[in-house]
Structure 1
Amino acid sequence: MNKEIRLILVLFISLLFGACAPEESIGKAVPEKIRVTDSNETVKIGFSMDTLKEERWLKDQALFKKAVEELGAEVEIVAANGDDALQLTQAETLIQQGIDLLVIVPHNAEATAAIVQKAHRAGIKVIAYDRLVKNADIDLYVSFDNEQVGEMQAESILELVPTGNYVYIGGATTDNNVHLIKKGVFNVLQPAINRGDIKIVYDQWTEDWSPEKAFLNMTEALAANNNQIDAVIAANDATAGGVIQALEAQGLAGQIPVAGQDAELAAAQRIVGGTQTMTVYKPIQTLTQQAAALAVRMAKGEDVTTVKYVNNGKIDVPSILLTPIPVTAENMRDTVIADGFHTGTDVYGAVDR
């Protein structure tokens, strides 16, 4: 069964669940799973991840596991690697195994609403981790301020290139974060666009965040504009890597500013090497520690209150939004290296000892 048919089936299941339980869709209280109250009982957290194919998510996996276990709880981690039907099946298995709370990084912000409904029917609360689940009664959303990520990207590039032709290479449209990041980018760029100072000559999404597809997009942008590109903003470091490969093929790498985000090691190396201009660092250790602590508290039946809410198309979701950090060659040592996210040797090479 190909991926498109499986996705249609997942969306059909999501709609079917909504049709079968109208009383829940209008806000009926979720039946509570019997919470862990005996101090001798171990809390078990399920962590359903979209993918482990990118460096960033491998770090999340390891750090979240460490944080949960340091709190005396257990965690079962599964990854669907971009397969929506598999993510639903994996989540069902976690629910059947009797987890006390589910944490989910959705691949498809819409399709994973079915997972939330299944968990709630079993009395299990759900935390959306890093990416928002759309049109579902999510109990908590823990992430970074993704709109601010886009603003930081655009501010850095606009300072360097106040006029000229801009390319925007977005991420996967199934990820709600890409829409927030793009909104932040254009919050900053729009006044310059309105003045005629800059022109967006190419704007394209990148299916599944694929660096190969970002390479093809950037190759197309260069061909369509006779290489007359002055700046590029890419939705993450993986897509920025594809962009830079396309620039290298035209002998333009290092001549055109490129922004990314996630502070991947390859991006940090490109930044100190001069082919990528900046990235946005999201301190994942802080995110994983907060998410783990909140997950364990909620699994024990403790209340969690927030001051921020993000609308997901159905409800205003209680949200914890952390602050990202722009990173350039100038502050590399003071940010990702000082935090231990990367070592100086890894970023700068063996000469950095």
Structure 2
Amino acid sequence: MTVTGTGKESGSRTFFTRYPLVLLVMLSALAIALLSACSGNEPSPAGDDQSAAAITENGNGETEPQKGTGTGQETSEEADPGKSSSEDPASAALPGLKPSGEPLVIGFTMDTLLEERWKKDRDLFVEAAEKLGAEVVVKSANGDDARQIAQAETMISQGVDVLVIVPHNAEATAAIVSKAHKAGIKVLSYDRLVTNADVDLYVSFDNIEVGRLQAEAIMKLVPKGNYVYIGGADTDNNARQFKEGAFDALQPSIDRGDIRVVYDQWSKDWKPVYASENMREALEANGSDGIDAVIVANDATAGGAVQVLEKNGLAGRIPVAGQDADLASIRRIVAGTQTMTVYKPIGRLAEETAKFAVALAKGEQPAATRRVNNGKIEVPSVLLPPIAVDASNIDETVIADGFHSREDVYGAENAND
């Protein structure tokens, strides 16, 4: 058969006849290009592991993975099923993960969640721990010793990696520490110290300093006169430390005879109703003119005392100190019925404790700045500084830190004043 045509055509046909694979490759490339143009340049299968939702635009108009929604590293791992997720540098950087990539589990047993302060602690602690990659199991005992011990025992039997305790009864919870240690689980005391036990770490504020700040603030206003002291729960070591700090500051004036403590009583389980009873008893024993100042162990109990003073027309006339910087107490300070509180930046407490809990779970011993005797051992401790708050520095402390919003403190109508 004779082929006719120009030499060029003849040469071309001869080339493709001799090299048909080249023709096939060229036609395939043309087809792929046409299909890509028709589909709007959609990502190729190699990029499908990273969805559009995982992409954001940076300041240069380029696309990059959105944090937490998918990265190039995650995509490459999906392409290699044999690669362990624990080898992901992003995951490995989280201290709250086990070598297997699973989260460390922190058991958080709390005395109560009835007070505003402890709800904040719970939420902040869980948030801080989860940022580290850990998981938190939270249980509240509602002021019941037996229930707290039972809840802790359940956590221990379920194999938590570390136990964090806010004890209701400082001595009763010593049993929890012993049982946890037998199971190889370390124990951290959060804000309240477990006494007569081998606690591995105690993280709190300087509670003696809290009491000093309360007394010093009131003594500036009332350097001489009759004082009422209303303590917290006598089962709580913190309550004893608050009182110790307050009386350390008061003692020189007591010794000189300038200050006389005319009433001194604990408030069972930190309940405001018992603080109210104490305030009524103090007024009955000394008369409305026989009390010049009141120091109360925390803001919830201070609220109970202020209610009684209000009923007797004395709110705002008798200085009252509290501590915890509860929203209700800050509002009372603005209204003039409570004089001061002590702010303990619990966001920092929660963050530091979460880090320490993770370290303990991994067999590390965090560096302690102090040692606090709990009746059995000198417990390695980290004590954070508290801050006195009155009407003059609310904005610079609790509002500036985001602990309370300006609107919550002053009301929507006065928030911008």
Q: TM-score, normalised by structure 1?
A: 0.89
- Residues 1:63 and 2:133 aligned together: no
- Residues 1:345 and 2:407 aligned together: yes
Aligned residue for 2:64?
none
Among 341, 344, 358, which residue is 1:282 paired with?
344
Letter in 1 for 2:233: A
Aligned residue for 2:245?
184
- Residues 1:241 and 2:299 aligned together: no
Q: What is the DSSP-based 3-state SS (H/G/I as helix, E as strand, rest coil) of the residue aligned with 2:170?
A: coil
8 A contact 1:36–1:301 mirrored in 2:
no
Aligned residue for 2:391?
329
- Residues 1:119 and 2:180 aligned together: yes
- 1:238, CA displacement in angstroms? 0.7
CA separation in 2, counterparts of 1:278 and 1:37? 45
8 A contact 1:36–1:300 mirrored in 2:
no
Runs (5+) with no aligned partner, structure 1: 1-34
Q: What is the DSSP-based 3-state SS (H/G/I as helix, E as strand, rest coil) of the residue aligned with 2:323?
A: coil
8 A contact 2:192–2:238 mirrored in 1:
yes
- 1:319, CA displacement in angstroms? 0.2
Aligned residue for 1:80?
141
CA separation in 1, counterparts of 2:349 and 2:287? 42
Among 135, 139, 163, which residue is 1:102 paired with?
163
Q: What is the DSSP-based 3-state SS (H/G/I as helix, E as strand, rest coil) of the residue aligned with 1:52?
A: coil
CA separation in 2, counterparts of 1:268 and 1:244? 13
For residues 180-228 of structure 1, what are the alpha-carbon distances to aligned partners after superposition, in whole Å with 9 as ceiling and x for unaligned?
Answer: 1101001110110111111100001000111111111101101111112
Letter in 1 for 2:200: D
Q: What is the DSSP-based 3-state SS (H/G/I as helix, E as strand, rest coil) of the residue aligned with 2:301?
A: helix
- Residues 1:304 and 2:304 aligned together: no
Aligned residue for 2:287?
226
- 1:36, CA displacement in angstroms? 7.2
The higher radius of gyration belongs to: 2
Aligned residue for 1:266?
328
RMSD: 1.1
Q: What is the DSSP-based 3-state SS (H/G/I as helix, E as strand, rest coil) of the residue aligned with 1:194?
A: helix
Aligned residue for 1:132?
193
Q: TM-score, normalised by structure 2?
A: 0.76
8 A contact 2:369–2:383 mirrored in 1:
no
For residues 153-200 of structure 1, what are the alpha-carbon distances to aligned partners after superposition, in whole Å with 9 as ceiling and x for unaligned?
Answer: 000000000011100000001100011110100111011011111110
What are the residue-to-residue correspondences of 1:141-220 with 2, within 5 Å? 141-220=202-281
- 1:42, CA displacement in angstroms? 1.4
Aligned residue for 2:36?
none
Equivalent pairs, count: 319
Letter in 2 for 1:203: D
For residues 130-159 of structure 1, what are the alpha-carbon distances to aligned partners after superposition, in whole Å with 9 as ceiling and x for unaligned?
Answer: 000000000000000000000000000000
- Residues 1:42 and 2:103 aligned together: yes
Letter in 2 for 1:86: R
Aligned residue for 1:313?
375
- 1:37, CA displacement in angstroms? 4.8
Letter in 2 for 1:162: P
- 1:344, CA displacement in angstroms? 0.7
Aligned residue for 1:51?
112
CA separation in 1, counterparts of 2:360 and 2:171? 24
- Residues 1:251 and 2:313 aligned together: yes
CA separation in 2, counterparts of 1:162 and 1:302? 48
CA separation in 2, counterparts of 1:122 and 1:280? 38
8 A contact 2:226–2:292 mirrored in 1:
yes
CA separation in 2, counterparts of 1:340 and 1:155? 26
User: Higher RCO, 1 or 2 (CA under 8 Å, sep at least 6)?
Assistant: 1
Q: Which runs of 4+ in 1 moved over 4 A?
A: none
- 1:41, CA displacement in angstroms? 2.5
8 A contact 2:97–2:133 mirrored in 1:
no
Q: What is the DSSP-based 3-state SS (H/G/I as helix, E as strand, rest coil) of the residue aligned with 1:326?
A: strand
